[in-house]
Structure 1
Amino acid sequence: MLNELNQRNKIVYFVTSLDYGGTQKNLYYIVKELKNYKWDIIVISLKKGGRYRDKIISLGIKVYDLGLPENFSFLSLFFLIYSFTKFIFLCVKHQIKIVHSFLFQANFLARFVKIFLPKTKVFCSERVAEKQKLWQLKLLRFTKFLVDKIFVNSTELKEFVLNTQKIHNDKVVIVPNIVEPNEINIKFSDSEIRDELGISKKDFFVLSVGRLHKQKGFDLLIEIVKNFNEKVKSLSCERKYVFVIIGDGKEYFNLLNYAKKLNVKEYIKFLGYKENVYDYINACDLFLLTSYWEGSPNVVLESIVLKKPIISTKVEGVSEILDINFVISLQQTREKIVEEFVNKIFEVYSSEENFDYKKCLSEKFCIENYLSKNVVKKYLLNYVDNII
């Protein structure tokens, strides 16, 4: 059935940006797998360039960008009108039957395809439980009638979308994130990465990865480092340790100054963006996620593939992956959150042997559910059901 309509099905994947991120990585995996079904695929990005643009083109897939500026200004409104007009033109030109969008700006604009091409099916992927830009939620709620299906990547995110957009339950479908073990390649060894960081094999290496954005909770991480440092010193522990953050963003100087203020700068390394993030995950002793909200974090899945222990805040998606004992609730005082993180990190730190990552996993977790071949089948079934 999935191949029945492939010769006459043309699909556009519409995304705000093709720069690095979990959304873009999932889009890359989706189009790569969908090519096996011989669907006619086009990718359209609102913004120019992006690290995933060339990767998608290398698959033999046509990529258009609509020229929207990276930073919003008054002139951006004119660019937005031009970009949307060009988007509609491309959909008409290629006789698109399905538009599947990702990220807020693309999700919002994609809905208006219904006005110009009422027979085109519109699918939107909501990736995170946005809890800061509430005006976005209002716009999505106001335009919900233009969407055929909304894809979400976790049970908690589905509840969030149902509550904020007031949309019918049947219109929101859970399709998990993709992790592809064959794509996780290690270029530099554990010892090479540790040499780069100036730490020995015995030193305790804690890693966090993400954009330097308030959503990712790196201010919380800095407070955790402060209290962890105090605990280690109070117990006269000799094992050295370092906390490493990979990612760039507008919060860099704020976070650096906060680390200085709490006198923990020497224990934290900000590495900026790294192309070979898997090498660092492979070299670490513990992966830490301190986000305030998510959808279902890709990097947790990637850390599992690389057999690393994980401790996380209880954000959307992680309870389906991690054991409850390694998930820290945010529904308590800041002091208690930090204390629970410190105690759990110390448990891994003080382990005489390598900590078994399997202790961190939920009993219901199954890696097969997250492989591209299985995830893309779920998308396809929804595409086909809505076309027929």
Structure 2
Amino acid sequence: MKKKKILIRIGSLRHGGAEKVLVTFLKNIPEKKYEIDLLLNLKSGKYLPEVPNWINIYHLHEGEMITTNKPWEIPVKVYRRSKEEILKIFPNLLYKYILKKKDYDVEIIANHTLLEEVLKSPVKESKKIVWVHSDLFNIPKYSKDKLNKFFKADQILAISDNIKNGFDNLACSKEEKDKIIKIYNPIDSNEILQKADDKKDLDFKFGQEKIFVAIGTVYPAKGFDRLINVHIKLLNEGLKHKICIVGDGYDFNNLNNFVKLHKLEDTIHMIGYRNNPYPYLKKSDFFILSSRYEGYPTVLFEALALKKPIIATDVSGVREMLQEGELGKIVENSEEGIYEGMKEFLSDIKVPDTYIQKLEKEDLPFTLENSVKKMMDVIDKN
């Protein structure tokens, strides 16, 4: 059987949801069916070692991601950006000198931000698939004209009902509607349960106070600033608890400095990036998602797999995953909403206990096997 040749593009394999999902997919598809080239803008990230060795990895740059503007870093940033722009304008150079191939059957954009690059591919006959992991309809920079460009791809993979409905409403024809497919992110729950028991990296002391854990890249979309403001308000009302934020990002230093300025080091713990965050999730009392917007928050599935009581703002994917509030508390997407949810969990232990009882009985619909099979069906369809 002739193997299908696939090119997959993504920025890097850093610690993000889309990156995790992609690597999980790659680890669970058969080598005998596909020949895969993975092209990274930046060859870095925690998931890089997990890519199966039969997959060919190409890259535009090496080194770490640069998130600051220190004088000695600016030339590197300018060089990287210039190279990417040149290859976007002249894609033939990329396929001739870096990939050295022009015979792909399928080209997948695993991060929607690279849509334009793949649509300009010189391989005109390849199937173009864009995988949308964010609720673009709530991000101001994505105008209607910009969103319509997604229909230039042959297939749009939407990871939640919210995202699918957004594109359905935008579609102008049956042909465009037929391009949209909802596909749950492939998540390996067995891997999550196994890693949660590995405590060698757990450098946080869990005391008597109830602990809310939040996990994610530290930048404004995740709403960790709102979480900290609510934490202060609840402490002032005498509701003792702690916050554990696991993650790193360009907002980390700003939030960490705020914590120190307000002398909150004893109650807010900025853990930073952890290769394995699951032990923190397992040991904490509650999980909280304070996001301003999401696509389909993978971390919610991880909390569900570990049977944690959940508070989540009403962003894309949450109602779907929490079954309209049956499996976790959905709150208004605001600081006030986060406050009301946390206060209820701290004031009445019966509330989070009820969610635990439901989770113990529930079979979750987000199975690894179903998601991988559906993705392969999309790739294999002529």
Q: Answer yes or no: same fold by TM over 0.5.
A: yes
Aligned equivalents of 2:79, 2:8: Cα separation in 1: 26
1:61 maps to what in 2?
55
Q: Percent identity?
A: 23
The question of 1:199 aligning with 2:206 is answered yes
Q: Distance in 1 between matches of 2:282 and 2:355?
A: 12
Q: Residue 260 and residue 148 in structure 1: after superposition, are their counterparts in 2 closer, same or farther (change >3 A)?
A: same
Describe how 1:337-348 pairs up with structure 2 within 5 A: 337-347=337-347
Q: CA deviation at 1:216?
A: 0.2
Q: Is the 1:246–1:273 contact (alpha carbons within 8 Å) kept by the matching residues of 2? A: yes
Residue 3 of structure 1 aligns with which residue?
A: none
Instruction: Find 2:378's aligned residue among 364, 378, 382.
Output: 382
Structure 1 unaligned spans of 5+: 1-5, 234-239
Matched with 1:280 is 280
The answer to whether the 8 Å contact 1:10/1:94 transfers is: no
How many angstroms does 1:162 deviate by?
4.6
Q: 1:355 aligns with which of 342, 353, 356?
A: 353
Partner of 1:237: none
Q: How do 1:84-233 and structure 2 match up within 5 A?
A: 84-89=91-96, 93=101, 95-113=103-121, 116-130=122-136, 134-135=140-141, 137=143, 140-141=146-147, 143-162=149-168, 168-184=176-192, 185-186=194-195, 193=202, 196-200=203-207, 202-233=208-239
- Offset at 1:359? 5.4
Structure 1: distance between partners of 2:168 and 2:277:
34
Q: What's the CA shift for 1:230?
A: 2.8
How far did residue 51 of structure 1 move? 1.9
Rounded to whole Å, the distance in 2 between the matches of 1:66 and 1:139 is 29
Residues in 1 aligned to 2:145 and 2:46: alpha-carbon distance in whole angstroms: 29
1:328 corresponds to which residue? 331
1:229-286: CA deviations, max 9, x gaps? 23335xxxxxx63210001111123223444566644310001001121111111111
TM-score normalised to structure 2 length: 0.83
**Contact 2:151–2:179 (CA<8 Å) still a contact in 1?**
no
CA apart distance, 1:344: 3.0
More helix, by proportion = 1
Counterpart secondary structure, 1:177: coil
Question: Which range moved further: 163-172 or 93-102?
Answer: 163-172
Tell me which residue corresponds to 2:247. Answer: 247
Q: What whole-Å deviation, never above 9, does each CA across 1:173-219 have from its counterpart, x for those lacking one?
A: 110112212222236567994xx32333x432210001110000001
Q: 1:43 aligns with which of 31, 38, 41?
A: 38
Q: 1:165 to 1:102 in 2, by over 3 A?
A: farther
What is the CA–CA distance in structure 2 between the aligned matches of 1:180 and 1:292, rounded to whole Å?
26
2:347 corresponds to 1:372: no
| Letter aligned with residue 54 of structure 1 | P
Distance 2:357 2:310 in 1: 9
CA contact 1:130–1:293 (8 Å) conserved in 2: no
CA contact (8 A) 2:196 2:282 kept: no
The CA deviation at 1:342 is: 2.7
Cα distance, 1:106 vs structure 2? 2.3
Q: How many pairs align?
A: 362
TM-score, with structure 1 as normaliser: 0.82
SS at match of 2:18: helix
Counterpart amino acid of residue 310 in structure 1: I
CA 1:87–1:379: 2 relative to 1, 3 Å: farther
Unpaired stretches in structure 2, ≥5 consecutive residues: 67-73
Preserved CA contact (<8 Å) 1:13 1:43: yes
| Distance change in 2, residues 1:176/1:55 (3 Å) | same
1:25-51 CA deviation, whole Å, 9 max, x = no partner?
111111122126622222111112222
